[in-house]
Amino acid sequence: MSAPVKAPTEGVWTQLVGQPAVVADLRAAIADPTAMTHAWLFTGPPGSGRSVAARAFAAALQCPAGGDGTCHECRTVLAGTHADVHVVVPDGLSIGADEARGLIRVAGRAPSGGRWQVVVVEDADRMTESASNAILKMIEEPPPRTVFLLCAPSLHPDDVPVTIRSRCRVIGLRTPPVGAIADVLARRDGVDPALAAWSAAASGGHVGRARRLARDEEARLARKAVLDVPLRLVSLAACLDAADDLVGSAKEETDAATDALDGSETEALKTSLGVGARGPGVVAATRGGAGQLKELERRQKSRATRIGRDSLDRALVDLAGLYRDALVLDAAQSSPDHPAPTLNHPDRRADAEELARRIGAEGALRRIDAILACRQALERNVKPQVALEALTVALRLPA
């Protein structure tokens, strides 16, 4: 494992792990008004810190000292309470036109107290076509003190339309080094150094997941259950059982995440609508709120679907990483003079070696393709049970 990487920056920038070049570009834009622009697009793989970079930049834009991390502006932006910084984090499957139009109304205002009116859109790749068109019009003719900070996984047209991308300054983040993640977990979060090193190596370069693995025994057990799957698939019955386990685990995670949220949201809305109250006009007001309750249920269902998909996708990425490890280990056997390969799951090296022996490079590639096809099927709304059963059958080990 590489040595821990010390954070080279201070203030709000310490939130960003292993991205010195990105920090340098953003600090330069803060320091030089000619380098500033009204629309920015933060791209990078999951866990690289796209939204962290956008929030830190928003804080630095509002801070008279360029992001010292201690002033009122920095603290309120990072806490999500600054009046002139608006962050959109989509709960559900998409960001629709109505939500985009609401953002445009906010973006059109003059700053109430800060230096800029800043709109941060996390997961901008989830904007519908109509929402993208609405945002595009604002980016084409922005108010003088408004800044849009969009976050998306990549520059692929399916993620960000070229019409928006061409009007933004693009900031590309990379996967943070394992050493940098481990250092942050140990130094800033107080995680035991050995556990921090394991979590960083097992996270696939995803800072948030590394922190969760370090803190949550359930997360570690869930990862283990997923990575146990490939060597279980010795029969059709085992394949179907594994699919049941994967779908069931995703449902449990969804239920745990949504039960408390859904209940509190519904009760709060009912209270605001006067459900159960008595008096003149209350019945009419309650009847008029039926549409609001139905819309809330729609959003909650969309959120539950997204959480379930994200859980399954995380499992699929872990599986693909293990087959990738088998692939590179198989290649390393035929090229003993090359340096030892870096593995996605170094703690499961024995499993990767066994897979390499049993399926070889060609088998590993076929299985990675099957996982990719399953991810695409889930995005096309194929039922998870059907998609996962087809996948596990495709992953079945040869007799």
pLDDT of residue 277: 54
Q: Which of 24-33, 121-130, 296-305, 387-396 is modeled with the greatest confidence? A: 387-396
% of the chain beyond a pLDDT of 70 = 90
> Is 359 a residue whose pLDDT tops 90?
yes
Same-domain pairing of 379 and 248: yes
Lowest mean pLDDT among 38-52, 162-176, 296-310, 372-386: 296-310
Same-domain pairing of 51 and 138: yes
Span 309-335, mean pLDDT? 90
Picking from 236, 202, 237, 227, the residue whose alpha carbon sits closest to that of residue 216 is 202
Using pLDDT thresholds of 50, 70 and 90, give the confidence band for residue 266.
confident
Same-domain pairing of 38 and 119: yes
Span 71-96, mean pLDDT? 87
Same-domain pairing of 51 and 154: yes
Picking from 70, 43, 54, the residue whose alpha carbon sits closest to that of residue 159 is 43
- Give me the domain span that covers residue 374: 236-395
Same-domain pairing of 240 and 383: yes
222 within some domain: no
pLDDT of residue 336: 65
Q: Which phi and psi angles does 218 have, rounded to 5°?
A: -60, -40
In order of 224, 242, 328, 390, the CA distances from 356 in angstroms are 19, 21, 9, 22
Distance between CA atoms of residues 161 and 133, nearest Å:
9
Domain count, the chain: 2
Same-domain pairing of 15 and 163: yes
pLDDT of residue 331: 87
**pTM of the shown model:** 0.77
Domain boundary among 172, 197, 221: 172
Q: Identify the sign of the CA torsion 15, 199, 306, 261.
A: negative
pLDDT of residue 273: 66
92 vs 279, higher pLDDT: 92
Q: What is the pLDDT of the chain when averaged over all its residues?
A: 86
132 within some domain: yes
**What are the pLDDT digits (tens) for 219-260?**
999 999 999 999 999 999 999 999 999 999 999 888 887 877
